Amino acid sequence: MLNELTIWELAGKLERREVSALEIMRACLDRIERVEGSIHSFISYDAADALEQAAAADRHLVGGTTRRQKPLLGIPIAIKDVLAVRGQPLNCGSKILGQFISPYDATVIEKLREAGAIVFGRLNMDEFAMGSSTENSSFGPTRNPWDTSRIPGGSSGGSAAAVAADECIAALGSDTGGSIRQPAALCGCVGLKPTYGRVSRYGLVAFASSLDQIGPLAKDARDAALVLGAISGHDARDSTSVEGTAPDYTAALDGRIKGLKLGLAKEYMIGGLDGEVGAAVQAAVSQYEKLGAEIVEISLPRTEFAVATYYIIATAEASANLARFDGIRYGRRVEGSDPIDLYCKTRGAGFGAEVKRRIILGAYVLSSGYYDAYYLRAQKVRTLIRRDFLNAFDKVDAIITPTSPTAAFKIGEKADDPLQMYLSDIFTISCNLAGICGLSLPCGFTASPKLPIGLQLLGKPFGEETLLRLAHAYEQITPWHNEKPPLER
């Protein structure tokens, strides 16, 4: 089936005119119709618009446009409901945005269109990207394609599930503390969080502005490289996007990793690490040694403080960013006796429980009398966490860790205990605090039930090429990324 293929396989078929973009898009839409009832990756999708884009891509192909000119020509890429797509709804998995329709395209959407992609769908997510399970969506949870009684991870759970279930060819997600990498790990796909500044955030609904970054979820490392290449680069509309053009990430995929140094952090061998996950990561480390990488023990001494630091900084920034949802300029409004009453009622009715908790926590750590004790202290610990990573990268080219301490858990299992949910982010959040890049790729399965296990590679600032090189080399000697979930085909 065409929807099961990778971007690079499809691009070859399109170029040789063996298939049309319309056929690929139809294959994805057929698949969505068959499996959405059990997965619910999408909040909505506009099939007519997607087919129109496919027809336009076919006209380009007939006109002689090449893969070189438009590397994603005719490839359906689905979008997390946190990115603005002109003329399409945008809800961030929340009720508060009501019937909001985006008046413009995010920069990454413009770039995908320039590269020829068919941009479609609104992928489910934890409300405002706050969560690790997609259970916090006000549109209902997404289910893991490998076991529909389990969560797909979050907050980009819809993105990961849609890629894993072959409902699209690749997807965009956003990652503030692991929201691309953790769902990629739990659904068995490749997810990449670029270095802060690599990808423009213009048109991304802000959660925590010093941590947020947009990135690809894909079926393998080559596809992740193709999508990252298309969306990267400087943008004058995001003052935190870095100058200069991005490299051709696919050029790094030559399978050669001999002599690269991989760091193993002793602090990541924690008590809560599941035995099967630990064993799969150990096996991956051995395979990297066989490929010629050198394994070096490193130390990241502030690891145990990362979760606490993150939940101060991220909530503080969120409390400021989400102040804009006040019922005045867009979204739902609940009338009140005066403006303050209107704000309180609108936000009380519009936000879900986790978003309320985090905004309240953020307002508290920034409030008079507590700013120094919480927020300023967390920013200082952030300095130490970043320093730990930069020191480690003096000795190694990348760091190898599990992505998540366990495979996918059951829907409802952690829903009543937010702190337990936060602690499952232990391996992913430091990456955002330090502003480095990270990638998750499949490295095995648990035995019963059969659930994907993710391997995380953390790289130097702007070291995405090294991560993709490492991931691609590993894929050449392992079968994991080719396995498909046991859904009705």
Partner 1 sequence: MPGNFDVKYVAHLARIALTPAEEEQFGAQLSNILGYIEKLNQIDVSQIEPTAHAVPLVNVFRADEVRPSLSNEEALANAPAKANGLFIVPKIVE
Q: Across the chain, which distance is largest between two alpha carbons, in Å?
A: 70
Residue with smaller CB distance to partner 1, 100 or 274:
100
Shortest Å distance, C-beta 443 to partner 1: 27
Residue 326 beta carbon to partner 1: minimum distance, rounded to whole angstroms: 7
Q: How far apart are CA 440 and CA 194, in angstroms?
A: 12
Of 177, 178, 171, 92, nearest in space to 138 by CA: 92
Nearer to partner 1, 85 or 284 (CB): 85
Q: How far is the CB of 66 from partner 1 (least distance, A)?
A: 31
Pick from 129, 182, 130: which is nearest to 153 by CA? 182
Of 210 and 299, CB closest to partner 1:
210
Residue whose entry in the numeric block shows the structure tokens 């997810």: 191
Q: Which of 41, 159, 179, 232 is catalytic?
A: 179
Instruction: Tell me which residue has tokens 């309240």.
Output: 360
**Residue 155 catalytic?**
yes
CB of 103 or CB of 255, closer to partner 1: 103
Instruction: Pick the closer one to partner 1 by CB: 163 or 434.
Output: 434
Minimum gap (Å) between residue 221 Cβ and partner 1: 24
The conformation of residue 246, written as its DSSP 8-state character, comes to: P
Query: Which of 42, 35, 126, 100 lies closest to 76 in space, CA to CA?
Result: 42
Q: Which is nearer to partner 1, 8 or 343 (CB)?
A: 343
Residues 6 or more apart whose CB falls under 8 angstroms from that of 428 comprise: 175, 177, 178, 181, 182, 403, 404, 438, 456
Q: Which of 20, 41, 80, 404 is catalytic?
A: 80
Q: How far are the Cα atoms of 138, 152, 348, 380 from residue 353, in angstroms, in the given order?
A: 10, 20, 9, 29
Least distance between partner 1 and beta carbon 198 (Å) = 10
DSSP assignment of 435-452 equals T-EEEEEEEEE-SSS--E
CA–CA distance, 469 with 43 (Å, rounded to integer): 34
Q: Which of 133, 137, 138, 155 is catalytic?
A: 155
Burial class from Cβ neighbours inside 10 Å (0-12, 13-18, 19+) for residue 454 reads buried
Which helix (DSSP H) or strand (DSSP E) does residue 83 occupy? none
Least CB distance to partner 1 at residue 254 (A) = 29
460 closest CA partner among 397, 401, 403, 402: 397
Residues annotated as catalytic are 80, 155, 179
